[in-house]
């Protein structure tokens, strides 16, 4: 038997590896509240991954466990190969955390003093700290306000400072818990650019968000979580196929006759006028779609748009419409 080659490369360490994770809380006089139930998730290095789900679904609990401030009830959670329960000191060194909202800063201190403090907390030397803080303030657009007390900052500015705080150690893995809450559209766009830059630099990002377009735009993969259980993990490009085998074709300028003919094509499930002049045809992928397109084009119509269910529709399909009700 041949001995394994010493030059053989080991498979790259997964950025995040979660196996059979359960987390429950004791509630006096009641059964335990189960926050996470048998969660399995693997995120390779360099991936931007979004976690989607309603309030109380378990997103923040998962982020807290990953950031070592909450222990799992059972199961294994590893960040860059280190166990969050047994090797939390090593995990902390390769992790940056940004929890949502504008809390978490020292309001009486300036933006620079805040970042300086957090850079010390991540064990950066004095010179390195000075350089990194200046660089980050510039990167999040706060260089001009660097020496002003944070208490005068808007919510969006505080959020930017939070992001800078999370990046202070240039972590391999960044956990962002609803990072764009309270940001104005310009700041949110800048944030998306920043996440793209982070991905280009090889960082792994796990982000929780309610913003579906943001998740679709930024993520390599998304996971849906509900009632503490992962419902689905997939790329946003193909995720629509999972909940629907239908493709939708929006056509402007169809006559009633043409609509009736389209409805008779095998594989077409619905033909509806969604607004005056605009017809939506839902048809199975493949031949049905091809036949519909041929019919419309032969009629001389060129205003045609093809689409698949959006991430928001997938979310609603998987999680359901529960209005204002918070998950139990």
Partner 1 sequence: MTEHLTKRRLTLLTGFWTGFEFQIVTMRGQAETYFALITAPFFALLYMSIMEYSGRSDLNTHAVIAPMLMTLWTAALSFSGEMISANRENGRLELLLASPTSFPMLVFGRLCACMLLGLPSFAMSYVSAGLAFGYWMPIHHPGVFAGALLLTALATAAAATALSSAFVLTLGARIVQNTLSFPVYLLGGVIVPVSLFPGWLEGISRLVFLSWSADLLRASASPEPVENAGLHFAMLLLLGAASLAFGLLSIVWFLHRARQLGALSKE
Binding footprint of partner 1 on the chain (CB under 8 A): 25-26, 64, 67-71, 89, 92-93, 95, 97, 99, 101, 103-109, 113, 117-118, 120-123, 165
Q: How far is the CB of 95 from partner 1 (least distance, A)?
A: 7
Instruction: Report the residue number, 68 or 246, with the smaller CB distance to partner 1.
Output: 68
> Under a CB-based contact definition with an 8 Å cutoff, are residues 37 and 230 in contact?
no
Q: How far is the CB of 108 from partner 1 (least distance, A)?
A: 6
Instruction: Report the residue number, 70 or 142, with the smaller CB distance to partner 1.
Output: 70
Instruction: Report the residue number, 112 or 248, with the smaller CB distance to partner 1.
Output: 112
Non-local CB neighbours of 164 within 8 Å, separated by 6+ positions = 111, 115, 136, 137, 139, 140, 142
Q: How far is the CB of 51 from partner 1 (least distance, A)?
A: 18
Q: How far is the CB of 143 from partner 1 (least distance, A)?
A: 20
Q: How far is the CB of 78 from partner 1 (least distance, A)?
A: 16
How, if at all, do strands 246-252 and 304-307 pair?
antiparallel
Q: How far is the CB of 255 from partner 1 (least distance, A)?
A: 58
Instruction: Report the residue number, 107 or 255, with the smaller CB distance to partner 1.
Output: 107
Instruction: Report the residue number, 123 or 237, with the smaller CB distance to partner 1.
Output: 123
Q: How far is the CB of 71 from partner 1 (least distance, A)?
A: 5
Query: How far is the CA of 191 from the CAs of 160, 176, 188, 232, in angstroms?
Result: 8, 11, 5, 26
Q: How far is the CB of 93 from partner 1 (least distance, A)?
A: 5
Backbone torsions φ then ψ of 273, nearest 5 degrees:
-90, 105
How, if at all, do strands 82-83 and 74-79 pair?
antiparallel
Instruction: Report the residue number, 174 or 262, with the smaller CB distance to partner 1.
Output: 174
> Under a CB-based contact definition with an 8 Å cutoff, are residues 161 and 99 in contact?
no
Instruction: Report the residue number, 104 or 253, with the smaller CB distance to partner 1.
Output: 104
Non-local CB neighbours of 122 within 8 Å, separated by 6+ positions = 93, 168, 169
Q: How far is the CB of 110 from partner 1 (least distance, A)?
A: 9
Instruction: Report the residue number, 95 or 176, with the smaller CB distance to partner 1.
Output: 95
Instruction: Report the residue number, 109 or 318, with the smaller CB distance to partner 1.
Output: 109
């Amino acid at each position: 038997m041949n001995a394994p080659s010493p030059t053989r490369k080991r498979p790259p360490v997964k950025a995040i590896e979660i196996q059979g994770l359960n987390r429950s809380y004791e509630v006096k006089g009641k059964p335990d509240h189960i926050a996470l139930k048998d969660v399995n998730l693997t995120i390779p290095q360099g991936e931007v991954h979004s976690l989607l789900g309603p309030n109380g679904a378990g997103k923040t609990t998962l982020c807290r466990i990953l950031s070592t401030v909450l222990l799992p009830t059972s199961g294994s959670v590893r960040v860059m190969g280190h166990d969050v329960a047994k090797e939390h000191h090593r995990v902390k060194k390769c992790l940056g955390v940004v929890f949502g909202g504008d809390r978490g800063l020292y309001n009486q201190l300036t933006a620079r003093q805040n970042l300086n403090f957090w850079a010390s907390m991540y064990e950066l030397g004095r010179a390195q700290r000075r350089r990194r803080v200046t660089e980050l303030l510039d990167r999040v657009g706060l260089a001009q306000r660097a020496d002003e007390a944070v208490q005068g900052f808007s919510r969006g500015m505080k959020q930017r400072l939070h992001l800078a705080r999370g990046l202070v150690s240039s972590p391999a893995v960044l956990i962002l818990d609803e990072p764009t809450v309270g940001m104005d559209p310009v700041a949110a766009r800048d944030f998306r650019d920043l996440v793209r830059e982070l991905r280009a630099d090889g960082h792994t990002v796990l982000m929780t968000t309610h913003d579906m377009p943001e998740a679709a735009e930024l993520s390599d993969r998304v996971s849906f979580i509900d009632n503490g259980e992962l419902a689905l993990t997939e790329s946003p490009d193909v995720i629509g196929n999972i909940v629907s085998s239908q493709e939708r074709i929006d056509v402007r300028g169809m006559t009633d006759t043409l609509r009736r003919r389209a409805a008779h094509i095998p594989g077409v499930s619905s033909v509806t006028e969604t607004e005056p002049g605009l017809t939506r045809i839902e048809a199975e992928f493949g031949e049905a779609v091809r036949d519909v397109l041929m019919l419309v084009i032969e009629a001389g119509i060129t205003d045609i748009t093809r689409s698949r269910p959006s991430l928001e529709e997938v979310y609603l399909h998987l999680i359901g419409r529960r209005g204002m009700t918070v998950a139990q």
